[in-house]
Chains A and B, each alone.
Chain A
Amino acid sequence: DGGITQSPKYLFRKEGQNVTLSCEQNLNHDAMYWYRQDPGQGLRLIYYSQIVNDFQKGDIAEGYSVSREKKESFPLTVTSAQKNPTAFYLCASSIGRGAGTEAFFGQGTRLTVV
């Protein structure tokens, strides 16, 4: 089945540690996104990528890093520089630039700093 897979579903991290969230899609989409959602809040864009080996910062990129070495994969690393990383993280993909098509979302990763 085609779709977006995020793993793990729940993740616990100690303060000061980096952690990487996985996002894989088999929809042959060019564009991929990472959003952060805090309780009772909307979605804020962290990073997005329109094509392999290229990505742009979103509105809250500080303390995060990404890579896009393969079309199918867009991992997000939450670094120790992120002051308040506990949140729900959503990955999405869409066909890409100019297409104006809908984005498809993964099931999310809930990150908790302990």
Chain B
Amino acid sequence: AQKVTQAQTEISVVEKEDVTLDCVYETRDTTYYLFWYKQPPSGELVFLIRRNSFDEQNEISGRYSWNFQKSTSSFNFTITASQVVDSAVYFCALISYSSASKIIFGSGTRLSIRP
């Protein structure tokens, strides 16, 4: 079975604070891919990052960073020095190779950044 769990339903922080969004996944495959998407109020999902199961290097892109740990089946997302424009719903997703193209999404975390 494949599953993505985002235990944090909502997070609210004050601008300029750092915030981490948690993602825990389940899959029996050794080959899989993990993603993060941002959904602003407009509704369209915006792709942020992809990581394959053989690459555990952490990645940093500006104020965004991702921590992939296979030992704990986690793929956490950190926003440093948050800004109001970061307010959105963030989804973690998984594709396992054996399930072909089927993308499994977590339930999302609603992030609110207060001025």
Contacts and interface: CB of A to CB of B under 8 A. Distances in A.
Indicate the size class of the contact surface on chain B. 20 to 34
Interface stretch (A14-22, A65-73, A74-82, A101-109): A101-109
A56 B6 CA distance: 26
A64 interface: no
A101 B91 contact: no
Interface stretch (B11-19, B71-79, B99-107): B99-107
B44 A100 contact: no
10 contacts: A41-B107, A42-B6, A45-B105, A90-B43, A94-B103, A100-B95, A103-B47, A104-B47, A106-B44, A107-B42
A48 B102 contact: yes
Indicate the size class of the contact surface on chain A. 20 to 34
A107 B108 CA distance: 18
B105 A43 contact: yes
